[in-house]
Chains A and B, each alone.
Chain A
Amino acid sequence: MKTAIETHNLTVAYNRRPVLWDIDFQIPEGQLIGVLGPNGSGKTTLLKSLMGLVQPSSGYVRLFGQSLDEVRSRISYVPQRESVDWDFPISVREVAVMGRYRKHKLLGRLNKEDHRLADEALEKVGMLSFADRQIAQLSGGQQQRVFVARALAQQADLYLMDEPFAGVDAASEEAILSLLKEMKQAGKTVLIVHHDLHTAHQFFDWMVLLNTRLIKCGPTSSVFTADYLKQAYGGQLTILSQVSDLVKARDFPIRERSFKDQPK
Chain B
Amino acid sequence: MNAFWIILTGALVATSCGLLGTFLILRKMAMVGDAISHAVLPGIVIAYLLSESRDVLPMLIGAAALGVLTTFMIEFLYQKARLQIDASIGITFTWLFAIGIILISLYAGQVDLDQDCVLYGEIAYVPLDLWITESGRLLGPRPVWILSGVLALILLIIILGYRGLKITTFDPEYAAAVGISTVFWHYLLMSAVSVTTVVAFESVGAILVVAFLIVPPATAYLLTEKLHNMLLLTVGLGILTAVSGYYLAVWIDGSVAGAMAVSSGVFLLLAVLFSPSTGVLTQRFRQQAIPVPAQGYKER
Q: Please list the residues of chain A having a beta carbon within 8 angstroms of any beta carbon in chain B.
A: 51-53, 69, 72, 75, 77, 79, 83-85, 88-91, 94-95, 98, 101-103, 106-107, 134, 136, 150, 154
The reply to whether B164 and A89 form a contact with Cβ atoms under 8 Å apart is no
A-B contact pairs, 25 of them (CB 8 A): A51-B176, A53-B177, A72-B179, A77-B173, A83-B171, A84-B170, A85-B26, A88-B26, A88-B227, A89-B224, A89-B230, A91-B226, A94-B226, A95-B170, A98-B167, A101-B167, A101-B175, A101-B180, A103-B180, A106-B163, A107-B160, A107-B161, A134-B226, A136-B225, A150-B174
Do B174 and A77 have beta carbons less than 8 Å apart? yes
B290 at the A/B interface (Cβ < 8 Å)? no
Q: Tell me the minimal C-beta distance from B163 to chain A in angstroms.
A: 5
Q: Verify B225–A84 contact, CB threshold 8 A.
A: no
Q: Decide if A83 touches B227 in the complex (CB within 8 Å).
A: no
- Contact status A90-B227, CB under 8 Å: yes
A89 contacts B160, CB within 8 Å?
A: no
What is B's interface to A at a CB cutoff of 8 Å?
A: 26, 160-161, 163-164, 166-167, 169-171, 173-180, 221, 224-227, 229-230
| B177 engages A91 (CB within 8 Å) | no
Query: Chain B interface secondary structure, helix, strand, loop or mixed?
Result: helix
**Which residues on the A side are within 8 Å of B224 (C-beta)?**
89
Tell me the complex Cα distance, A90–B171, Å: 12
**Cβ distance B25 to chain A, nearest Cβ, rounded Å:** 10
* Chain B residues in 8 Å Cβ range of A103: 178-180
Structural contact, B226 and A98, CB atoms closer than 8 A: no
- Taking the nearest CB of chain B, how far is it from the CB of A171, in angstroms? 16
Could you say which residues of chain A place their CB within 8 Å of the CB of B221? 89
A91, A98, A134: the one within 8 Å of B171 (CB): A98
What residues of chain B lie closer than 8 Å to A101, measured between beta carbons?
A: 163, 167, 175, 178, 180
- Complex: how many Å from CA A134 to CA B224? 10
Q: Which 4 A-B pairs have the closest CB atoms?
A: A134-B225, A77-B177, A103-B179, A51-B177
Asked if residues A89 and B179 are in contact (CB atoms below 8 Å), the reply is no
Nearest A residue to B163 via CB reads A106
Contacts of A91 in B (CB 8 A): 225-226
* Chain A residue, CB-CB nearest to B159: A107
